[in-house]
Amino acid sequence: MNNNDVLGLNQNVAGALSYLLGIITGVIFFVLANENKYVKFHAAQSIIVFIAVYLVSVVSGWIPLIGGILSAAVSLAGFILWIGLMYKAYSGEKFKLPVLGDLAESLSSS
């Protein structure tokens, strides 16, 4: 087993899988990543991003008249972001989102 492996998975695969089920796999890989900063970062970013997407989607749904459309647009953007983040993690890139990525980086380094 390589030092970069997490649960017997290559760190790129583990990083991508941390996004697979959003908050659920984010928490699992965050806890199990031990000293692997790459996987821990992607797991933390997964947790933060999907909490943010969920909250923005719910809150935007409360806006009269355009709430439903806005909420659907946020959900679509969240889906596209989910696919993109999984691809970036699998490719070995530490793609850091503005603001949320900084928060994830601070969580993963502590």
Residues 47-101: tens digit of each pLDDT:
999 999 999 999 998 998 899 999 999 999 999 999 999 999 999 999 999 999 9
Q: What is the pTM of this model?
A: 0.90
Contact 39, 18 (CB under 8 A): yes
User: Domain locations in the chain?
Assistant: 11-91
∠10-14-15 over CA atoms, to 5°? Answer: 115
Q: What is the pLDDT at residue 35?
A: 85
Q: CB-hemisphere CA count at 13 Å for 34?
A: 7
Q: What is the pLDDT at residue 3?
A: 59
